[in-house]
Amino acid sequence: MLYQMTDGTVSVGGQVILSHADFVIKGNEKIGLVGKNGAGKTTLLRVLSGGLSLDRDDRRQGPGILSSRELTIGMLTQTRENDLKKTVEELLVEGCPVKDRYAQERFLYEMEYDRMFTGLGFEKEQKKRKLAAFSGGEQTRIALIRLLLMKPDLLLLDEPTNHLDLNALSWLEEYLQHYDKAVVVVSHDRFFLDRVVSVIYEVKNGRLTRYAGNYTAFREQKRQETAQKNKAYQSQQEEIKRLNDLIERFKQKPRKAAFARSRKTILERMEKLERPEPDDAHIFTGEITPIVAPNKWILDAKELQVGYDRCLASFSLRVRSGSRIGIIGDNGAGKTTLLKTIAGFLPALKGTFHLGERTTIGYFDQKAAELSSDKTVLEHFHGLFPVLTEKDLRHTLASYLFRGSDVSKKVSSLSGGEKARLLMAELLESRPNLLLLDEPTNHMDIPAKETLESALQAYKGTILFVSHDRYFIRQVADAILVMDGSQVMYYPFGYDHYLSRKDKGEGENLTALLRAEDQAMLEEFKKVPEKEKGRLREIGTEELYRDWRVRLAREDLAEAEAEVFRLLMESPDPPGLAAAEDRWTACCIAFAEAKGILF
C-alpha cells in the first residue's frame, strides 16, 4: 500500500464534494478517475497533492490519510509569469538535480528532455525559444515535460491528452505504461485510459468505487452491476406486491388473520432496495435496419481526385455494402472533402465514382451545432416523423438521452453535443443505407458517445466516417482508410489490429496495408462466379493480399533472372551485369519477404 485515504470527507465553499470516501494506491498502480463533470475528480487530485485537507470528522477513526513513506508528488500547475521570459531550455535545465554542466548525469538528463520534447510534438530547435512565444496549449505540453522529468513517486495528471496530436498521444501512452511509479489520471479520453490504467475509480454521489481493469473493463462491470441491481429490485417489487396481495386477501378472515399479520411483519422488516439509477448511456439491443436494401457494392471510385482548387487526395476504392470504414489522417489531408464529394456537395476534380443503385444517404457534418429552431425537441422530431405517436416519439428520443423534461427544451437552446445527438437520432430513425459522418462525437460527453457507438453497432447499413476519437473508431470501424498526404491507404481490419501492427514498428510496411487502388483490385479478385468456382469459400483479404504480393514478387524475380541470363549470353563480362545482378538480389529478398521467409 503506497497511499490510503479512509473515510475521507472534503468540502469546498461549504459544499460537500466527497463524503466518507475510501481511496487506495497499491505500489506503482496506474489509476484512472472517471465521473461526470463536477463529481469531484479534480478535488480528489487536490487532496492527493496536498492542496486540500480532509474535513474534521468525529466519525472517522485515525488520521484519514496514510502513506508507506514520504512521497514526492507532482501535479500539473499553471505557468508562472516569470517563466514566460525564459527559454524552454532554461526552464527544463532548472529541474536538473546536477548543476555541473559537464557531468554525465547532466548529459543523460538533457538527452531525456530532448526525447520528451520531440516526443510531444516539438522540433528540437524550438527549445531555444522563450516560453511566451508558445501558445497556451504548447505551454501546457512544456509544463507536462517538466513534470515528467521530476519523476515523482505519485504523478497526478488532469486531462493530460488535451492539446496533443495522435503521435504525441501515442508517445505519452507508451511513456506512462513504462513509468515505474504510481500515476493517477483524470481523462475523458477513453482510449487513453484503456492503454494506460489498470484500475478505475468512479467518482459518483460523493463516493469512490474501485474497479479492476481499464476503462472498457470498468464499463462492462458497471453494465453487469446495473443489470443485477435492476433484477434484484424488480424481484423485490414482485415479492412486495405478492405479500401485499396476501395481506389484503386474508386480513379480514378470522382464521387467516394471523397469517396476514405475519406477512405484514415480513414486509415491514424487509430491507427495501432503492430503485437503481439508470445507466447514463443507452445500449441498443435490437437492429437498426435500412428501409431500402442496397446493392452489394455501395461505392465504386476510379482514379478519383478530391479537393477544392488543388487535389488533396487521389485514389480508387470499392466499398461493399455493410462495411464500416473509419477515415483517419492529419488535418488538411482531405477527409472531410472526401465525404462531401461522395455526398454530392463537392464535384470531383478528376476521375469517377458511382453509388450503387438504391443507395440512400444520411450525412452528418461538423455544422450540426448550427441546428436552430424555436420548436421544442419533441415538436421538431414529430415534424420529421409525423406518423409516430407521442409515446413512440418519447421512447425514441429517450434512446438518444432526451429524457423527461429534455424533450420540452427548445432546439435553439440545446448545447452543441445535444444538437449533434438530435441530428444523429434523426439520421438513424430515417434509416438510410449509407451513413457519411464527419466528426459525429465532437461536443458529446461520454454517455452520449457510448449511446451513439451502441446505435451504430446495431445499424446494419454502410458507414464511412471521420473521427479523431480513437475509442469511437475502435468501437465502430471494421476497416481503416488512412489519408496521408496525397497517398490513400486501406487497412482491411479494425483499429486495434492496425495499431498493434504500428506499435510493433512495422510502420508503413504493415502486412495488410494496401494502396486504395490495390484494395479495389482485390475486391474484383474476390468475386467468384458460382458456375465456375462452385461452393469455394471467399478468400480472406489478408491471405489474398499475401498471394497477390507473392505473384508480383515472382514476376519481378523472373524478369530480373531473364535479364541476367541475357547479359551473360552476350559476353563473359557484359556492361550492366553488376546492376542487373543487384536488381536480381533485391528481387530475391522481396520474394522471400512476400513468402514470409526470414533470413
Cα 446 from Cα 538, distance rounded (Å): 39
577 contacts: CB under 8 Å, gap ≥ 6: 564, 567, 568
pTM of the predicted protein model: 0.79
Look at residue 319 and give its three-state secondary structure.
strand
- Enumerate residues 6+ apart whose C-beta is below 8 A from 579: none
340: nearest Cα among 466, 425, 476: 466
Task: Of 76-85, 90-99, 357-366, 584-593, give the range with the top mean pLDDT.
Answer: 357-366
| CA distance linking residue 551 with residue 595, whole number of Å | 10
Confidence tier at 505 by pLDDT (50, 70, 90)? low
Contact between 40 and 206 under an 8 Å Cβ cutoff? The reply is yes
Q: Find the range with the poorest average confidence among 49-53, 295-299, 379-383, 587-591.
A: 587-591
Q: By percentage, how much of the chain surpasses pLDDT 90?
A: 53
How many residues make up the chain in this entry?
599
Please state, in angstroms and rounded to a whole number, the distance separating the CA atoms of residues 194 and 445.
17
Residue 553, domain extent: 541-595
Domain check: are 263 and 302 in the same one? no
Q: Are residues 451 and 421 in the same domain?
A: yes
536 pLDDT higher than 50: no
Question: pLDDT tens, 306-328?
Answer: 998 888 888 888 888 999 999 99
Contact 460, 291 (CB under 8 A): no
CA pseudo-torsion sign 52, 57, 63, 64: negative
Neighbours of 549 (CB within 10 A): 19
Domain shared by 102 and 205, yes or no: yes
Residue 392 forms part of a structural domain = no
Regarding whether 191 and 99 lie in a shared domain, the answer is yes
Residues 6+ apart with CB under 8 A from 314: 303, 304, 305, 306, 350, 351, 486, 488
Residue 516's pLDDT is: 55
What phi and psi, each to the nearest 5 degrees, are found at residue 119?
A: -65, -30
Share of the chain above pLDDT 70, in %: 89
Among 364, 443, 375, 385, residue whose Cα is nearest residue 413 = 375
545 and 499 in a common domain: no
**Which residue type, as a one-letter code, is found at position 74?**
G
Of 516, 556, 525, whose CA–CA distance to 543 is shortest? 525
For 80-89, 103-112, 456-465, 511-520, which range has the lowest pLDDT when averaged over its residues? 511-520
Do 165 and 309 belong to one domain? no
Shared-domain flag, residues 213 and 325: no
* Residue that finishes a domain, picked among 524, 553, 587: 524
Q: 195 and 254 share a domain?
A: no
**What's the CA gap between 52 and 45, in Å, rounded?**
9
Q: Do β-strands 434-438 and 361-364 pair in parallel, antiparallel, or remain unpaired?
A: parallel
C-alpha cell at 196: 494506460
Q: How much is the average pLDDT of 455-479?
A: 95
Best CA proximity match to 369, nearest among 286, 439, 457: 439
The helix (H) or strand (E) run that includes residue 261 is helix 257-269
Would residue 86 count as lying in a domain? yes
Cell readout for 526 is 474476390
Biggest CA pair distance of the chain: 124
Is 13 within a domain? yes
- Rg of the chain (C-alpha set): 31
Q: Is the dihedral of CA 147, 153, 158, 162 positive or negative?
A: positive
- What is the bridge-based pairing of β-strands 350-355 and 207-212? unpaired
Inform me whether the pLDDT recorded for 264 exceeds 70.
yes
Specify if 287 maps to a domain: no
Q: Which three cell numbers stand for residue 98?
A: 546536477
DSSP states along 31-49: EEEE--TTSSHHHHHHHHH
- Are 100 and 230 within one domain? no
Q: Which of 236, 227, 231 is nearest to 279 (CA)?
A: 227
Q: Please state the rounded mean pLDDT for residues 398-406.
A: 93
Q: Which residues are within 8 A (CB) of 99 and not within 5 positions of it... i.e. 6 or more apart?
A: 106
Bridge partner list, 596: none
Note the pLDDT of residue 106: 87
Residue 447's pLDDT is 92
What pLDDT was estimated at residue 588?
Answer: 80
Q: What is the CATH number of the domain that holds 73?
A: 3.40.50.300
Q: Which residues contact 165 (CB under 8 A, 6 or more apart)?
A: 121
Question: Residue 274 falls within a domain, yes or no?
Answer: no
Among residues 158, 183, 218, the one where a domain terminates is: 218
State whether 50 and 123 are in the same domain.
Answer: yes
- Number of structural domains (the chain) is 4
SS (H, E, C) 516-539: HHHHHHHHHHCCCCHHHHCCCCCC
Query: Is-contact 132 87, C-beta < 8 A?
Result: no
Task: Choose among 342, 332, 412: nearest CA to 377.
Answer: 412
Considering the domain boundaries, does residue 380 fall inside one?
no
The CB density around residue 456, as the number of other CB atoms within 10 Å, is 23
- Are both 319 and 189 inside the same structural domain? no
* Residue among 70, 67, 19, 73 nearest 50 (CA): 73
Kindly tell me the burial class for residue 381, based on how many C-beta atoms sit within 10 Å of its own C-beta (0-12, 13-18, 19 or more).
Answer: buried
The residue type of 433 is N
Q: Is 386 domain-assigned?
A: no
Which residues, other chains included, contact 326 with Cβ-Cβ below 8 Å and sequence gap of 6+? 465, 466, 467, 473, 476, 477, 479, 480, 481, 495
Ordered strands of the 30-34 beta sheet? 73-75, 154-158, 182-186, 30-34, 199-204, 207-212
Boundary of a domain, candidates 202, 218, 234: 218
Q: Are residues 509 and 587 in the same domain?
A: no
Does some domain include residue 285?
no
pLDDT at 561: 83
Distance CA 590, CA 565 (A): 20
pLDDT tens-digit map of 426-448: 999 999 999 999 999 988 889 99
Neighbours of 213 (CB within 10 A): 15
